[in-house]
Structure 1
Amino acid sequence: MTETKTSENRPSETRNGIIGRPIDRIDGPLKVTGGATYAYENALEGTAFGYILGAAVAKGRIAEIDTAEAERAPAVLLVMTHRNAPAQPDFGPAVTPTVPEVFTRARPALNSERVRYYDEPVALVVAETFEAARAAAGLIRVRYDEEPGVYDLSGHMADAYAPKRTNAGFETDSVIGDFESAFAAAPVKIDATYRTPFEHHNPMEPHATLAAWSGNELTIHTSA
């Protein structure tokens, strides 16, 4: 005789009756009617606004950057480039081996004259209003020494980055076999080329973060 132990399925038999039921989001009506307060809409006294100027080339180095006119623009508080940005560590390996590198390695900004990808930040303008910061960013003049970039992965797959861990921190288990041999031996073959358009995420809430010091306490309002 074998005794079979019965156990409860806690997620599906939870006592609060929430899991498995179609529960409305409590912030749903506010969001769809435009009544929700987003992080950007919190009014903080003395708020300064930043605007990032991105690189106009995909790869190369900044040979010259002229910020004089932007610094003289009305309401501008600061123009930051690689020449006056705080010291930062360079791109490096993961800080901890149990978490993906994308979350734990250094990701410096404005730390050198190198341009690694198109639209990489090359300057940050801080002003009393967002409009003033954006207008001043348009006054910055940058001259690049452009270098050849890689725009087609088909001929560079051997050099492609292969992460050791996934976003959840688990080790990758991809197995790369001999496709050509397997395809040639397949009894049924479908040979076609498929192209899909780029996908662009359109969040309901704009990306924004507001930070305010009060003595030794820092309050941050940020988009989810």
Structure 2
Amino acid sequence: MKFDKPAGENPIDQLKVVGRPHDRIDGPLKTTGTARYAYEWHEEAPNAAYGYIVGSAIAKGRLTALDTDAAQKAPGVLAVITASNAGALGKGDKNTARLLGGPTIEHYHQAIALVVAETFEQARAAASLVQAHYRRNKGAYSLADEKQAVNQPPEGTPDKNVGDFDGAFSSAAVKIDATYTTPDQSHMAMEPHASMAVWDGNKLTLWTSNQMIDWCRTDLAKTLKVPVENVRIISPYIGGGFGGKLFLRSDALLAALAARAVKRPVKVMLPRP
């Protein structure tokens, strides 16, 4: 997408949307608590099992060993999904890192296992029994430290400079030269990332919270290595997204892998620290 020439007249210029009242169709359902989110389609997917994610304790490196024996023997556990038993997986186009890590670790808390059990509490308890061993690699984690190495804008970035800044600044009567910083921020929607998956033969139905259905569908099909027409995504309500739910996330992939492994519906929600 390039912004190197005038866009011309469009519906926004015609004021057909901006400044006019529009009904929020899902507003009454959300404000009364009757909208069903991705984790709540119990009648459509009865007898669902629960998955709980085990995340990487390092940000970059290699998973050298993963002991799941104790977790597999824990009460209520149906399966423990890892990269070694999930089958050959592809990779979608929208995410930089793989959604199920191992043996390579690409970011902190990257999913390395999913414990599936009869109840959420059983899955969470068993997940704490998984023992992971790592070999750390050196990484770059500070934008400030890396700033000096970046001296060229990304290719294709238009020149936004207007006028002579250096001349204007040097001749200004009053100068303020300061560095402003803000803390790290992350999307925190009221509805966490969550998915429920059901297989019917080789066809997958996924209830999820996602802002871009086509991106989610195509990347999930590519990752699972199944025809895209075999994947159905249902996401009628989103409890907040803000861009954080634009792409396929690990909850969706792991729910699909787990449901295929245990041959029953599985729901997965990404935990929050």
Letter of the aligned partner of 1:125 in structure 2? V
Offset from partner CA, 1:31-81 (integer Å, 9 cap, x none):
122222112111112312221111111222122221100011112111122
Match of 1:65 in 2: 66
Alignment partner, residue 147 of structure 1: 137
> Which stretch shows the higher mean deviation, 70-79 or 145-154?
145-154
CA 1:22–1:204: 2 relative to 1, 3 Å: farther
SS of the aligned residue for 2:115 comes to strand
Q: Structure 2 vs 1, CA of residues 89 and 183 (structure 1 numbering), >3 Å: closer, same or farther?
A: farther
Q: Which amino acid aligns with 2:105?
A: V
- Residue identity opposite 2:28 in structure 1: P
For residue 55 of structure 2, what is the aligned residue in structure 1?
54
> 1 CA distance for matches of 2:107 and 2:152?
15
Change (3 A) 1:137 1:149: same
Q: In 2, are the aligned partners of 1:87 and 1:111 still within 8 Å (CA)?
A: no
AA partner of residue 192 (structure 2)? P
CA 1:192 to 1:221, structure 2 compared with 1: closer, same or farther past 3 Å?
A: same
- Give me the whole-angstrom Cα distance separating, in 1, the residues matched to 2:166 and 2:140: 29
1:69-80 matches, within 5 Å, as 69-80=70-81
Distance (Å, rounded) in 2 between the aligned partners of 1:162 and 1:67: 45
TM-fit CA distance, 1:187? 2.6
Structure 1, unpaired ranges of 5+: 1-7, 96-100, 165-170
Residue equivalent to 2:170: 186
Determine the C-alpha separation between the residues in 1 that align with 2:11 and 2:168. 50
Preserved contact between residue 50 and residue 133 of structure 1 (Cα < 8 Å): yes
Aligned position for 2:39: 40
Aligned residue pair count: 193
Q: Is the 8 A contact 1:88 1:111 kept in 2?
A: no
Percent identical among aligned pairs is 46
The AA in structure 2 aligned to 1:28 is G
Conservation of the 8 A alpha-carbon contact between 1:63 and 1:144: yes
Gaps of 5+ in 2: 1-8, 210-237, 239-273
Q: Mark the structure with the bigger radius of gyration.
A: 1
Q: Which amino acid aligns with 1:208?
A: A
| Matches of 1:65 and 1:75, distance apart in 2 | 20
Residue 196 in structure 1 maps to residue 196 in structure 2:
no
Q: Which has the higher helix share?
A: 2
Q: Which residue of 1 aligns with 2:196?
A: 210
* Counterpart Cα distance in 2 of 1:138 and 1:50: 13
Taking structure 2 as the reference length, what is the TM-score of the superposition? 0.58
Distance change (3 Å), C-alpha of 1:84 and 1:10: closer
Residue 136, structure 1, aligned to residue 126, structure 2: yes
Q: Look up the SS of the partner of 1:186 in the other structure.
A: helix
RMSD between superposed Cα atoms in Å = 3.5
Rounded to whole Å, the distance in 2 between the matches of 1:36 and 1:152 is 41
CA contact (8 A) 2:115 2:126 kept: yes
> Secondary structure of 1:122's match?
strand
Query: For the residues of structure 2 that align with 1:48 and 1:30, how far apart are their CA atoms?
Result: 27
Three-state SS of the structure 2 residue aligned to 1:156 is: helix
Residues 61, 104 of structure 2: 8 Å contact kept: yes
C-alpha spacing 1:175/1:205, structure 2 compared with 1 (3 Å): same
Q: Say yes or no: does 1:221 pair with 2:207.
A: yes
